[in-house]
Amino acid sequence: MTEDALTLDKVRSMAEEIGMTRLTEAHLQQLLRATNGARARRALLPFADLTPADEPAHVLMLARED
């Protein structure tokens, strides 16, 4: 097990920190599987060749009312 591997206790603690105190054991197991899956997918993303131009741009326009 790696140092940053998630356990059910760690997931329970994280959930409690953000106010998710009513989760059942089944919910916590599901959250653990989902988080591990998301971490695995993120680890496979190529990011070494990304530049600032690759960042998504959030373009906002202020409309002027005449």
Which of 9-13, 29-33, 37-41, 46-50 has the least mean pLDDT?
46-50
More confident residue, 21 or 54: 21
20-33 tens-digit pLDDT: 999 999 999 999 99
Domain extent listing, the chain: 8-46
Other C-beta atoms closer than 10 Å to the C-beta of 11 total: 22
Helix (H) or strand (E) holding 37: helix 25-44
- 16-47 b/e with 16+ CB inside 10 Å = b? eeeeeeeeeeeebeebbeeeeeeeeeeeeeee
pTM for the model stands at 0.65
Cα separation, 22 vs 9, in Å, equals: 15
